């Protein structure tokens, strides 16, 4: 635990610390444990001494962890007069932090004392302890894995002891080996070792929270010895040693000098420099041999080689791989079979075109640097005349007249292949039949045939682009050795959408049959364009189309069907599919006077192609047809109206809503049927202040009071009876329903009008009743409106006056006849009113 004496946070406090009687010796911190497990609690206390006289009697002690103030301190005064503050940190989550005890001194925070706190974990058990005896440094090197981080200073010590048994009993101790900081390996010098005696070894890890030890390792130093690898080198040429064969390498190595007395075995690995081949392991190599011939390699190929060794048969560890050695294998003569094929030129039969293909006889057949075509004359023994020397797979040369056979060989720097005889025989064999070809995919062609009888020994198949070029070197060919074959799949040099010429020739013993030819496309294309549409006839709702089919083209797949598309101005599309043999089509169901866009699509198995768009408009209907259509539409509308009217008239439930059934005034109760009164029909006589008129009363003449608008000439009354010639309608029409019904009448009759006699007359009163069955015509009231009653007219002064009676009217009651409700009144008991 490290305690730091008081320090100041400001320059002013620093000056105070230098003064006598400062806070230098005032405070002291004590903690329960300076190093704890990470996350464990810790308790600390701070005591302020009594000799700090310049402090307050009750100074407040503050705690700070790092840069953060910590609440929860409990402060008290002890019996000796000192001040003590105690704090408990519940979880210490910092691996390293400083806890300070402070006071407020002036305007700054003064640290009285502080202590460093550490938190971490105890050391884990070291794992994977292993040791190697290094003869170069003559030391035993051990290494281990220290385990997870502890966040605390942890020391590792390699401990060991000597033992004569199986390390069950501990002998002399060996000096501990302490590695450098951060390292997990350590070396025990040779002077502390007995190479052939057992020793126990383990690793001990220790820190402030605990100690751990690895499992003990019991070994002899020489059982874990690791040798240094030998040094590979190339063998020097010597007349005593034969040169390496093709595909072989001769190499030797020098062993490590300090390990000459140790029995050991070695192994070799190699791989080609080119490519991404993996290492091939060879071993174990002979014990005493320091040279080795490695065979089975590719000729003329560069290889990388490495070697390593181990103590054997006693225990030990493999050495590291030696530095690489690069060697190249020698060439070998080509071991191939040459398949040949020849052709004579048509213009010059003595000029021969010879073709060949090398077929490897082994996995490693050797590299080929060139080919030689030679001829041995029959009269010259041992003489060989070269006809052609080339690196290509074909050669053209003039054939000597006496030559019937030539030899073809492949060569390289190591030698030549076995000669392949080429015999120029005539076409004397039978030809094959039913040669055909078809495309399997864009990059292959299948060619088939029927074998002739007898079966040939093989076939030569040639193919190339057609039409052929001036040189036949661009053709590809292959030889089929199976004479019973009936076809072959061509996959070499095939490109899509190309026309190929394929030639098949049967081969017999010392003869060949005539060649047969066939043409085929590697992949057929879709039609280039569709036929052009033509309009043949057109109507108001139909259009007849026709087209001329395109002639078949070589390389184009045959048509399978046509599709016609047409679209109207509302962007509605329609289509139909037709056979490939169709030459025309009629579109039905078109709209008159409408615009349509039509195009034809031609389709095959290889694809489809659209033709040009044809735009047309259907015909407009003629005038007579338009009239007929309008007439039919009008007739249909008339029939609909008649049917509707008949339905309304015949159905009582539909008739009443249109015209309500008005009760007969003479046979019904007016109190049970009162029409709706409109506000505009309320009428009053001007200047009289009367209520709206609803009742008719006829008075006798002697009781009549002349009104202002009546005529003053009584002689013009036409000798009417004593009844008053005027009438007054008065009363509220809405109160009619509340009045009691007439006692003399029945409940279903209503007094339409009442004529009263004079009260002074000795005779009984006269009543006028109406038995009319007419419906109420004027709506809500029998009184005429102001513009209908000619009796009342407005004067210029705003008063109503009556017009002078005309000559044609002999009764002042003439205007009363204008009232439609009075035209049906029947007068009973007064004969003088007949003219009324």
pLDDT digits (tens, 9 = 90+) for 110-158: 888 889 999 999 999 999 999 988 888 888 999 999 988 889 899 999 9
Using the predicted structure, report yes or no on whether residue 76 has a pLDDT greater than 60. yes
Backbone angles phi, psi at 703, to 5 degrees: -100, 0
pLDDT band per the 50, 70, 90 thresholds, residue 783: low
Listed in order, strand segments (DSSP E) in 571-726 are 573-579, 584-588, 595-604, 607-617, 695-698
CA distance 562 to 433: 37
Q: Inform me whether the pLDDT recorded for 35 exceeds 60.
A: yes
Averaged pLDDT for residues 241-245: 76
Rounded Cα distance between 486 and 149, Å, is: 77
Cα–Cα distance for residue pair 108/102, rounded to 1 Å: 10
pLDDT of 682 reads 44
Q: What local confidence, expressed as pLDDT, does residue 413 receive?
A: 81
* pLDDT value of position 558: 78
What is the average pLDDT score of the chain? 75
pLDDT tens digits, residue range 753-767?
Answer: 444 444 444 445 444
Note the pLDDT of residue 24.
55
Give the pLDDT of residue 4. 35
pLDDT at res. 260: 80
Q: Place 716 in a pLDDT band, splitting at 50, 70 and 90.
A: very low
Q: What is the Cα–Cα distance from 704 to 760, expressed in whole angstroms?
A: 12
Two tokens at 829? Answer: 């008991």
pLDDT tens for residues 631-658? 888 999 999 999 988 887 876 665 555 5
Higher pLDDT, residue 699 or 27: 27
Confidence grade of residue 809 (pLDDT, cut at 50, 70, 90): very low
pLDDT band at 567 (very low <50, low <70, confident <90, very high): very high
- Mark 20-49 as b/e (b = at least 16 C-beta within 10 Å): eebbeebbbbebebbbbebeeebebbbbbe
What pLDDT score does 379 carry?
A: 64
- Residues 113, 102: Cα–Cα separation, whole Å: 7
pLDDT in tens, 418-467: 898 888 876 677 888 888 888 888 888 899 999 888 888 889 888 888 77
Q: Which residue has the higher pLDDT, 713 or 819?
A: 819
Q: How far apart, in Å, are the Cα atoms of 738 and each of 74, 466, 690, 741, 779?
A: 103, 121, 20, 9, 20
pLDDT tens figures, 90-99 = 888 888 999 9
User: What mean pLDDT comes out for the span 383-398?
Assistant: 87
Q: Average the pLDDT over 548-562 and give the result.
A: 82
Residue 81 has pLDDT above 80, yes or no: no
Check residue 800 and give its pLDDT. Answer: 43
Q: Sort 507 into a burial class: Cβ within 10 Å, 0-12 / 13-18 / 19+.
A: buried
Least reliable range by pLDDT among 492-506, 566-580, 790-804? 790-804
**CB distance 18 to 12 below 8 Å:** no
pLDDT reported for residue 57:
63
For residue 537, CA distances in Å to 279, 544, 578, 619, 737 come to 83, 5, 19, 11, 82
Residue 259 has which token pair? 């390990």
Q: Pairing between strand 108-120 and 35-37? A: parallel
pLDDT average, residue stretch 541-568? 87
Q: Are 321 and 292 in contact (CB under 8 A)?
A: no
Distances (CA, A) of 308 to 233, 323, 325, 562: 14, 10, 13, 77
Q: How confident is the model at residue 271 (pLDDT cuts 50, 70, 90)?
A: very high
Higher pLDDT, 249 or 692: 249
pLDDT band at 804 (very low <50, low <70, confident <90, very high): very low
**pLDDT at 103 > cutoff 60:** yes
Q: Which pLDDT score is estimated for 566? A: 94
Q: Residue 576: pLDDT above 90? A: yes
Q: Tell me if the pTM is above 0.75.
A: no
**Model confidence at 598, in pLDDT bands (50, 70, 90)?**
very high
């Amino acid at each position: 635990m490290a305690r730091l004496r008081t320090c100041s946070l400001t320059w002013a406090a620093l000056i105070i610390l230098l003064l006598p009687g400062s806070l230098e010796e005032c405070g002291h911190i004590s903690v329960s444990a300076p190093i704890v497990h990470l996350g464990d609690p810790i308790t600390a206390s701070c005591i302020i001494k009594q000799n700090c006289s310049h402090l307050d009697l009750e100074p407040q002690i503050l705690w700070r962890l790092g840069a953060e103030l910590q609440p929860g301190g409990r402060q008290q005064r002890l019996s000796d007069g000192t001040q003590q503050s105690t704090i408990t940190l519940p979880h210490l989550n910092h691996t390293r932090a400083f806890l300070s005890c402070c006071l407020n001194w002036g305007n700054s925070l003064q640290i009285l004392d502080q202590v460093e706190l550490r938190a971490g974990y105890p050391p884990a058990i070291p794992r994977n302890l292993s040791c190697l005896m290094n003869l170069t440094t003559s030391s035993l090197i051990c290494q281990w894995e220290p385990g997870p981080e502890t966040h605390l200073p942890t020391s590792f010590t390699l401990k060991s002891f000597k033992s004569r048994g199986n390390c069950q009993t501990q002998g002399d101790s060996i000096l501990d080996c302490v590695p450098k900081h951060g390292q997990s390996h350590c070396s025990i010098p040779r002077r502390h070792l007995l190479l052939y005696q057992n020793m126990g070894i383990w690793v001990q890890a220790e820190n402030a929270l605990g100690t751990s030890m690895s499992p003990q390792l019991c070994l002899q130093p020489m059982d874990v010895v690791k040798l240094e690898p030998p040094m590979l080198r190339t063998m020097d040429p010597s007349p005593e040693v034969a040169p390496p064969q093709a595909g072989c390498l001769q190499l030797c190595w020098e062993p490590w000098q300090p390990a000459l007395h140790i029995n050991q075995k070695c192994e070799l690995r190699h791989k080609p420099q080119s490519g991404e081949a993996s290492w091939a392991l060879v071993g174990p190599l002979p014990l005493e041999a320091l040279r080795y011939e490695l065979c089975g390699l590719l000729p003329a190929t560069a290889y990388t080689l490495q070697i390593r060794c181990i103590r054997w048969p006693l225990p030990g560890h493999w050495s590291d791989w030696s530095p690489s050695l690069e060697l190249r294998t020698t060439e070998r003569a080509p071991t191939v079979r040459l398949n040949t094929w020849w052709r004579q030129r048509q213009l010059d039969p003595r000029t021969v075109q010879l073709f060949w293909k090398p077929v490897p006889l082994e996995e490693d057949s050797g590299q080929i640097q060139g080919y030689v075509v030679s001829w041995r004359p029959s009269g010259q023994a041992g003489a060989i005349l070269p006809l052609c020397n080339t690196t290509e797979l074909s050669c053209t040369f003039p054939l000597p007249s006496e030559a019937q056979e030539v030899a073809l060989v492949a060569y390289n720097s190591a030698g030549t292949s076995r000669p392949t005889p080429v015999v120029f025989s005539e076409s004397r064999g039978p030809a094959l039949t039913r040669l055909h070809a078809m495309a399997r995919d864009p990059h292959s062609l299948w060619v088939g045939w029927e074998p002739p009888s007898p079966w040939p020994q093989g076939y030569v198949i040639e193919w190339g682009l057609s039409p052929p070029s001036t040189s036949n070197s661009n053709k590809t060919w292959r030889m089929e050795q199976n004479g019973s074959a009936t076809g072959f799949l061509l996959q070499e040099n095939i490109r899509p959408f190309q026309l190929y010429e394929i030639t098949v020739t049967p081969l017999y013993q010392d003869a060949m049959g005539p060649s047969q030819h066939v043409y085929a496309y590697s992949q057929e294309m879709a039609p280039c364009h569709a036929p052009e549409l033509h309009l043949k006839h057109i109507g108001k709702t139909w259009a007849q189309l026709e087209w001329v089919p395109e002639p078949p083209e070589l390389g184009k797949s045959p048509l399978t069907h046509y599709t016609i598309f047409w679209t109207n101005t509302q962007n509605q599309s329609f289509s139909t599919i037709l056979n490939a043999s169709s030459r025309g089509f009629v579109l039905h169901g078109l709209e008159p006077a409408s615009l349509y866009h039509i195009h034809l699509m031609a389709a095959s198995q290889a694809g489809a192609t659209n033709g040009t768009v044809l735009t047309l408009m259907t015909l407009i209907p003629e005038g007579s047809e338009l009239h007929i259509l309008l007439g039919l539409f009008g007739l249909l509308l008339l029939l609909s109206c008649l049917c509707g009217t008949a339905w309304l008239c015949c159905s009582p439930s539909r008739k009443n809503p249109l015209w309500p059934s008005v009760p007969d005034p003479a046979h019904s109760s007016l109190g049970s049927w009162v029409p709706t009164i409109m506000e505009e029909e309320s009428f009053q006589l001007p200047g009289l202040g009367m209520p709206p008129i609803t009742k008719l009363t006829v008075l006798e003449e002697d009781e009549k009071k002349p009104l202002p608008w009546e005529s003053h000439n009584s002689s013009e009354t036409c000798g009417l009876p004593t009844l008053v010639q005027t009438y007054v309608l008065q009363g509220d029409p809405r109160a009619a329903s509340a009045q009691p019904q007439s006692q003399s009448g029945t409940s279903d009759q209503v007094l339409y009008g009442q004529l009263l006699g004079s009260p002074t007359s000795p005779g009984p009163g006269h009543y006028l009743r109406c038995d009319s069955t007419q419906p109420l015509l004027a709506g809500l009231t029998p009184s005429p409106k102001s513009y209908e009653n000619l009796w009342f007219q407005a004067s210029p002064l705003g008063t109503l006056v009556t017009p002078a009676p005309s000559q044609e009217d002999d009764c002042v009651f003439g205007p009363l006849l204008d009232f439609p409700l009075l035209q049906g009144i029947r007068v009973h008991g007064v004969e003088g009113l007949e003219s009324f």
